[in-house]
Structure 1
């Protein structure tokens, strides 16, 4: 779909790091948001050199530059939602908090990128404290996977629904309006994401678990939710549509992989 750049059209502001492989990060965010007919504007928090299997180098942007990019994005475009990914440092978290406090009515989706798929830490330990205390209360939705959920709660990775519920409620108590716990890395035939909100029963979003090790699915899900919120969908409808979109992308990728290894006739 061809998108015409117009300042009056709704935009999703993506605050995240770049992935030189294109498999995750800002490249994946922009691609996902565009799939829903929405434009993006960006604030780059870090530049990385990485492949699909390892991160070889990370350079964090100065917090001042991150804040200036956010200010320029708001000055130029009609920002209708914000998606936050990799932040890296406590000073960057502080800069993002300071920049977004002026826009309390704009929905914010935070995908808490704590480490790369290969295990390299991507958020400093003191930044996690600032993330929970200062940034989460500004957010409409937090989207941790099970490992991130445990790290944010300073606990072991949850292995039961009861543990997931307890840890999610702990994060809700930090002030975030909703937590979507992603189950893509769990066991079982179903990939189940669970939405927790204060004073409301949890909502489960199920999809068949597909094989393969697709990267960037967390970026895709959070960005697709951000696109839905920018279009005026409810949080629940945004999550449901995003879950379906990511499943379809993984399904097509799996079908393509199977076709590539099929025997010649």
Structure 2
């Protein structure tokens, strides 16, 4: 059977993040991609100038109609935008055969533009995290979900990952890219404990869509059967390897004048 993954997220016209990044990542990893749109954005590699939400009821209709026909082996959420959309997505996926759910709680763009309001953050915390098998916040997103100051060290990030685990998800991958330093350090927290995973930091400005790409790589690998129920470490390590190659290839694309995209097809085709 063809592995199928679903992304529920917003659109990025520049192609580096959101639905576009997710579908590219699914394809690069040999998975058939399906997509439900939550919002249109006006953005480029320099920033976001506007967001046009899709009505929550229609987001839910997209999900239900898709799942009535197409078997989905893993799903991920990205930018959901409003509290109503968050609640609708959680309700539409509840009890449906859509595979493990990876929640990327997209709240702030790489450019620094905030993409959600406080009500949406609260809805992610109470409605979406309890139905997620894995949640993948970065440093500011983890802090926003917990209502605390952003972590300033790996130890603080690990403590926040464990605190997020208490909110109901099966596992937490807290991404430490914002911590700086010569290594990019992520923290995986599960019921079995905390694992720290490291990669050399890539000196590049082509970082647009890194969070979307990592979470969609995880969903794609799950759809392909990597890991297994509750076995997140091999999935995370493979997804980080893929992201590392994409980051290393991003500068070669030369897209835009701001934070360019990673190269989603690094190793498949080159400039």
* TM-score, normalisation: structure 1: 0.90
Q: Does the 8 Å contact 1:15/1:83 carry over to 2?
A: yes
- Return the alpha-carbon distance in structure 2 between the equivalents of residues 188 and 117 of structure 1: 18
The match for 1:176 among 162, 169, 174 is 169
In 1, the alpha carbon distance for the partners of 2:250 and 2:159 equals 34
Aligned to 1:26: 19
Give the Å deviation of 1:212.
Answer: 1.5
- Does residue 235 of structure 2 align to residue 242 of structure 1? no
8 Å CA contact 2:157–2:187 kept in 1: the answer is no
1:159 aligns with 2:152: yes
Contact in 2 for aligned 1:9/1:77 (Cα 8 Å): no
| 1:60 pairs with 2:57 | no
Q: Which runs of 5+ in 1 are unaligned?
A: 1-7, 258-265
Q: Bigger CA drift: 63-72 or 8-17?
A: 8-17
SS of the aligned residue for 1:203 comes to: strand
Deviations 1:112-156 (A, max 9, x none): 111222222211211111111111011011101111111111111
**Residue 196 in structure 1 maps to residue 189 in structure 2:** yes
Asked if 2 retains the 8 angstrom alpha-carbon contact of 1:13 and 1:73, the reply is no
Structure 1: distance between partners of 2:46 and 2:28: 26
Quick one: distance in 1 between partners of 2:68 and 2:107?
30
Aligned length: 249
| Most deviating of 187-196 and 120-129 | 120-129
SS at match of 1:19: coil
In structure 1, distance between residues paired with 2:253 and 2:33: 28
What is the alpha-carbon distance in structure 1 between the residues aligned to residue 30 and residue 226 of structure 2? 14
- 1:1-265 superposed matches below 5 A: 9-103=2-96, 106-198=99-191, 200-213=192-205, 214-234=207-227, 235-254=232-251
1:241 to 1:176, Cα distance in 2 relative to 1, 3 A = same
Q: Name the Cα RMSD after superposition.
A: 1.5
Cα deviation for residue 15 of structure 1 reads 0.1
Shift of 1:104: 6.8
**Aligned 8 A contact 2:16 2:209 in 1:** yes
1:236 offset after TM fit, Å?
1.7
Q: Give, in angstroms, the shift of residue 57 of structure 1.
A: 1.1
Bigger Rg over Cα: 1
Give the distance between the partners of 2:98 and 2:8, measured in 1 at CA.
17
Separation (CA, whole Å) in 2 of partners of 1:89 and 1:14: 17
CA distance in 2, matches of 1:165, 1:58: 33
CA contact (8 A) 1:211 1:254 kept: no
User: Is residue 73–residue 98 contact of structure 2 (8 Å, CA) maintained in 1?
Assistant: no
Q: Which residue of 2 aligns with 1:4?
A: none
The runs of 5 or more residues in structure 2 that have no matched partner are 255-271
